[in-house]
Structure formats: C-alpha cells, structure tokens
Amino acid sequence: MGKLIAVLLVWWPFMASSDNWFPVTVQADGVTQPYQPLAKANKIWRICALLPHGKDHYWWGVAWGLSEEASRLGVMLGIYEAGGYDQPDKQRAQLQQCRQKKADAYIIAAIAADGLSPELQQLVQAGIPVIDLINGIDGDNVTSHSVVSFTDMSATALRYILQQSTKPIRLGWFPGPKGAAWVRDADLGVQSLIQNGNITLLNAGYGPPDAFHQAGLTRQFYQDHHAVDFVLANAVAAKAVAQFQLRNPVSQSPIVAYYANPAVIEMLQMQQLAAAVTDSPVLQARIAVDLAVRSLQREKVPKRVSPQIEVLTPANLADFDLSRLLPPDEQWIIRRELLDIPAQD
C-alpha cells in the first residue's frame, strides 16, 4: 500500500481540476448537438496518448488539453510525441511501450493514416479502446474519432479566399507533410473547389511542418513564382511566408492558414494574416479523453465527434475563446510517462 500512495502523491499535481469547458456544440455522427462530458471517471484508468511531434505549437495545445481533461476526470495519462512525421517507427515503439505498461486505452494522433493498422487491430480485438485524435486513422480499428475533417477545413479557408475576389486567382498552396491523412484530406478540399472556381493552383510542395522545411519551400516557391494573389498554407508555412513577405515587399499577398496554432494567432493579432481556420484542437483533445473514459466504462459513444469549424480574422479574433485552441501562456509541450501502478502490499 505504501508504494501505491507514493505513486499517487507523485501524480497528484496533475489532478488539479480545470475550468469547465462544456457544453460545446459538436457534430456527433452527423447530428449537431451539445457535448457534455462526464463529471468524473469511475476509477483511475490509465490512458496512453501518442502525438506525432511537438515542433508545431499546435500540438502544445493538444497536449495541454489532454492533460487538463485527464486531471479533471481523475485518470492517469501518458503523453508521448514521436519527434516528427518522419518518425513512424518511433511512434510504433511508443505504442509498444504503452502496451508493455498495460494501458487501459489509447488516444492516437497518427503519423500516417494506416501506419499502425496491425497494432490497432490487435488492441481493438482485445477490447481495448482506441480513439483517433485529429490526424485521422483509416480502417475500422478505432473505437471513436475525435476529429474535424481537413477536407472541410481547407475548403472553408478557400471559400473565404474566393469571397474576397471576383477575379481569377493565382493561389499559392502549402499543404504540409506528404502521406499524412490530414494533408491528403486538405488536398481534397482544395481540389473540390478548384474544379468549380477560376483558380490557378500553384503547389509549393510537401514537407514536414517545421520552420526549417517550410522556410525552404517558401524560398523555392518565390523563386519559381514571383507573384500570387493569395497564399493558402499550413500554419507553419503561413508564418514562413509572412516572414518572407516582410523581407521582400514585392511579394506581398494575403495569407490564409487552413488551421491555427499560437504563431498564427499572433500573426492575426498583428494583422500579418488575412484569416485562419480553426478546428479547436484543445477541444478535440479534451473530447478524446472523455470518449476514452466512456468507452472504458462500457458506455455507447459516437463513432465521430467534431467541434465546429471557425474562421478567424483580425476583426473577429477578440470574440473567440482562445482556450479552445491554445495552451496558457508559457505552457510548453507536455511529455509524460504513463506511470505504473505497483501491486498493493
């Protein structure tokens, strides 16, 4: 018993309850409704969360949302990040590590949509809940999805651009890492409107969503295309393009990000971006934890839960609850081992 008390004391700092974030309006299996999470879990479940990386601060908010909701519900949570979209083997190893620790449930923001299929099939067949978080997992080896369609995200961003101009548009497109399900879906959203709009699409190419790679794609893009009417970009590329335009005024054009992170919000506040679309990633993270706990407690859960997509601009930003997508100031990426529960004496 002494060992158990010691572990719980170590874990205690994470148990401070967070502010109420609910109810929130979501689409649950296609039906618009308020989402009301559980008040508390019925036991201290042990949940493993896998994230692709922490280089894009988008995932800092996700990790914070996961941690806060686990604390509010009273469950234990390990948070692991693989270090990049070029690290599928590390994410697989982290999954195996959590299996060795006998995690009760898994929340996975997958590096690749089908990259963990054999492992997830084994988990689901064993009755262990698997929650798909944000990035998208293909196939049936998932208990529930806490996701927003990136097809809808990019299409919403492009519709905003089309509303700003009645003339033909030369559009610079910075999608993100090739092979990721969310980038594949974002491509589909853009293509769905390209077919019906008067748009010339100029693809900047694929690359990991970190500053180094997106800055390189930006430099190459403007060497190949000296002027465009609008830029539609992943959040990291949006910052790279904005910085490039500050140094090269001849290349000025409005920038729209098809998802938002802390840097995007700062650029909106400074009026360096025209707009950004948000999928409320902190909410998605919180909902994922609640779905995992409900599944563990044998409750029926929706197959898919999605917060509403919002378009943020410098004009409306002050009216938006930023805690839906950002961690608190000075909150860094949270990495945390899933603690073992020692056998009672």
Residue-wise pLDDT tens digits, 281-326: 999 999 999 999 999 999 999 999 999 999 999 999 999 999 999 9
Over residues 143-171, the pLDDT tens digits come to: 999 999 999 999 999 999 999 998 999 99
Q: What is the pLDDT of residue 288?
A: 99
Q: How far apart are CA 177 and CA 100, in angstroms?
A: 30
The count of C-alpha atoms lying within 13 angstroms of the C-alpha of 231, restricted to the half-sphere facing its C-beta, is: 30
Q: Looking at residues 263-283, what average pLDDT do you find?
A: 98
Length of the chain: 345
Q: How far is CA 100 from the centre of its chain?
A: 26
CB contact burial 192-213 (16+ within 10 A = b; e otherwise) = ebeeebebebeebebbbbbbeb
Q: Which of 15-24, 33-42, 271-280 has the lowest mean pLDDT?
A: 15-24
**Nearest in space to 187 (alpha carbons), one of 197, 196, 178:** 178
Between 197 and 108, where is the model more confident?
Answer: 108
Q: Looking at residues 84-106, what average pLDDT do you find?
A: 97
- Please tell me the pTM assigned to this model: 0.90
Pairing outcome for strands 144-146 and 169-174: unpaired
Which phi and psi (to 5°) does residue 170 adopt? Answer: -95, 115
Q: How far apart are CA 132 and CA 141, in angstroms?
A: 10
Q: What is the pLDDT of residue 3?
A: 40
- State percent of the chain over pLDDT 70: 93
pLDDT band at 19 (very low <50, low <70, confident <90, very high): low
CATH numbers and ranges of domains, the chain: 2-148+280-308+320-324 (3.40.50.2300), 150-278 (3.40.50.2300)
pLDDT band at 8 (very low <50, low <70, confident <90, very high): very low
Rounded to whole angstroms, what are the CA distances from 274 to 185, 249, 256?
A: 23, 16, 6
